[in-house]
Amino acid sequence: MEQNGTKENERSEETPAPGPPQPVHVQDIRFTKIFIDNKWVQSSRGRTFATFNPATGCKLCEVEEADEEDVDKAVAAAKAAGRRGSAWQRMDACSRGKLLHRLADLVERDRLLLATVETLDTGKPFLQSLFIDLDGSIKTLRYYAGWSDKIHGKSLRVDESFMSITKHEPVGVCGAIIPWNFPLLMFMWKVAPALSCGNTVVVKPAEQTPLTALHMGSLIKEAGFPAGVVNIVPGFGPTAGAAIANHMDIDKVAFTGSTETGQLIQTAAAKSNLKRVTLELGGKNPCIVFADCDLQLAVEDTQTGAFYNQGQCCTAASRVFVEESIHDQFVRLSIENAKKIVVGDPLDPLTSHGPQIDQQQFDKIMDLIESGKKEGARLEYGGTPVSNKSLFIQPTIFSGVKDHMRIAKEEIFGPVQCIFSFQSQEEAIRRANSSRYGLVSAIFTSSMDRALSVSAALETGTVWINCYNSLHAQTPFGGYKMSGIGRELGEYALAEYTEVKAVTLKLKEAV
């Protein structure tokens, strides 16, 4: 899922642009109800909420609003589906894998529709939805489908009189609270490993972007998953999300979102039934660019990292430390590269930069941009809305950024690249680590000795060397410090969705 496509930013004057995909109309969005026990149901209180296209401000449709009562019903269905003797628990591990492969086939069949709906609901460029989000979703499903019949324990000979065996059993009912920036992909990151291990799931998609998750409900039913194995409850954080975090019959909750909300979820989990928690939270991610690097590669990759998905990524390359001798050249090339970015209609295949998700996020980003100006950072490019009546913000570059500035410390979650200067390797490492976050980092250098030495010193869960946003289903993802708890993806994620049981046998003495 390497997210590195700078050439798509350039308009070609020689080759005619392909026509945009046919838009999805309101009447084409079929799945807007709550999905419980393989049935589409209305909200218990009869409430709905609107979801909007951030590129136009137009309402896409009304979605049924789940609250605590609906979450209770979803949890009851999930608990029943996971009981001993149920169809899901009687199913052999190989058959679970076949269901996940069948679901991947259906996502592949509907990938154009899903990518279009994802673009309409989030504002991200269509080609990114199609080739990053959908491709990553399918690969994640297939990866965990392959794990389904390979999850096993060990036999341990402790002494002559006893033998112990370990079993990896499902945790039980898993709650998944999904963010708005990658709604389909994060759905897969949580649901695929949970199902591979034999758990049941209650998913709450973000209220801003519920539509692709609801479409997945239809595909889960079509694939043949037993009723209650996956339940989807669109709603708001303080109601549906809080009900999941506090629920006494949910055994584990996985959340992707802000650090502040993650702290609330961990507190609720501790105060309820001490449920297991996986948190993938914020980041203020450092990139260290040494003078011996491939400069053009460093410029392109750090900028892709900063502006991808309009900067609305926990992995955003938001602190770029550049060695002093190449600093000015790096800034100049970054400005030239930013000018090639195409801002426009997300459904146009030529567009590489869409709108922010909503007015609240837009206002927060603009406030931080203004703070950068006031605190003395040099605005090199952008820094303004594209128009007065939209949620589009120009890709923005600051240089001369100091570590005490708000734009250097706070997670902006918008298209703002902050460029710093450093003199020594020791200084770069110290400043890179001087953050409460520790999600990802990157190093650009031609020296592998230096790259490995610096990577060992960086306090982040992921270190990229001469690349950025290179995410793969096989590779674990998660953060140090206040960037989270636990890991998603790879074999490591299986441990988050299984309980280890030790069984000890007394052996008969040999005659």
Cite the active site residues: 280
Residues found in the chain: 511
Asked if 306 contacts 341 with a C-beta cutoff of 8 angstroms, the reply is no
Specify whether the CB–CB gap between 434 and 403 falls below 8 A: yes
**Whole-angstrom distance, CA of residue 138 vs CA of residue 103:** 9
Cα distances (Å, whole numbers) of residue 455 to 12, 288, 333, 444, 461? 39, 10, 26, 11, 10
Q: Is 294 left (phi over 0), alpha (psi -120 to 50) or beta?
A: beta
- Within 10 A of 224 (CB to CB), how many other CB atoms are there? 11
Cα Rg of the chain (Å, integer): 24
Residues 6+ apart with CB under 8 A from 191: 176, 201, 203, 216, 230
What phi and psi values does residue 202 have, to the nearest 5 degrees?
-120, 120
Q: How far apart are CA 290 and CA 295, in angstroms?
A: 9
Longest dimension (CA), the chain: 89
Question: How, if at all, do strands 162-170 and 498-506 pair?
Answer: antiparallel
> In angstroms, rounded to a whole number, what is the distance separating the alpha carbons of residues 502 and 291?
53
Torsion angle defined by CA atoms of residues 75, 150, 256 and 246, in that order, rounded to the nearest 10 degrees: 30
Rounded to 5 degrees, φ, ψ at 358 are: -160, 180
DSSP element (H, E) containing 111: helix 111-122
Amino acid at 305: G
Yes or no: say if 114 and 107 are a contact pair by the CB < 8 Å rule. yes
**Residue 271 has which token pair?**
């105060």
CA–CA separation, 308 and 142 (whole Å): 25
90 to 82, 84, 191, 362, 498: CA distances (angstroms)? 10, 8, 20, 49, 17
Q: How far, in Å, are 36, 284, 364, 377, 388 from residue 360 at the CA level?
A: 31, 20, 6, 24, 15
> Other CB atoms closer than 10 Å to residue 303's CB: what's the count?
26
Q: Phi-psi category of 17—alpha, beta or left, where left has phi over 0 and alpha has psi -120 to 50?
A: beta
At 306, which helix (H) or strand (E)? helix 295-307
The DSSP secondary-structure symbol of 385 reads B
